[in-house]
């Protein structure tokens, strides 16, 4: 964990310091559990799949909600976090085995974009 200065406590605390931008390359050479060696992996961002209507909890909830009576279960309102942890999906280029790797919290996340250097825009310094 990176140490930072909190607004609540002026002394150094053990909270995470959020970076402005996290930029991760689209390929990463890392360990593959199936191949049992380091292999190049394709990196993508994990996204939650579509919720199934036939799952037991969803069927139970829909049955309870049906008819008159309004909202039957409590709706959560006390959201505390402003960011989510980024989860990377790593896919081995050889055996296609996939695994998830969570990384730190950040508001802005990019996958494989080049860093903007000074003078990289059209026209450069002659504008």
Q: What is the pLDDT of residues 98-124, one digit of tens each?
A: 999 999 999 999 998 876 666 666 665
Report whether pLDDT(27) > 70: yes
For each of the domains in the chain, give its residue range(s) and CATH number, in order of start. 20-47+83-114 (3.10.450.80)
List, in order, residues 6 or more apart from 88 with CB less than 8 Å away: 24, 43, 44, 45, 46, 100, 101, 102, 103
Tally the C-alpha atoms within 13 A of residue 63's C-alpha that lie toward its C-beta: 7
Q: Report the pLDDT value the prediction gives residue 77, as an integer from 0 to 100.
A: 96
């Amino acid at each position: 964990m990176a140490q930072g200065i909190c607004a609540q406590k002026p002394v150094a605390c053990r909270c995470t310091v959020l970076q402005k931008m996290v930029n991760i390359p689209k390929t990463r050479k890392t360990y593959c559990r199936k191949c049992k060696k380091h292999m190049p992996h394709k990196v993508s961002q994990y996204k939650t799949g579509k919720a199934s209507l036939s799952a037991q909890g969803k069927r139970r909830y829909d049955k309870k909600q049906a008819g008159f009576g309004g909202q039957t279960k409590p709706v959560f309102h006390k959201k505390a976090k402003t960011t989510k942890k980024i989860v990377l999906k790593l896919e081995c280029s050889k055996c296609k085995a996939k695994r998830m790797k969570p990384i730190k919290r950040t508001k802005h996340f990019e996958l494989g974009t080049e860093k903007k250097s000074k003078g990289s825009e059209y026209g450069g310094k002659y504008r």
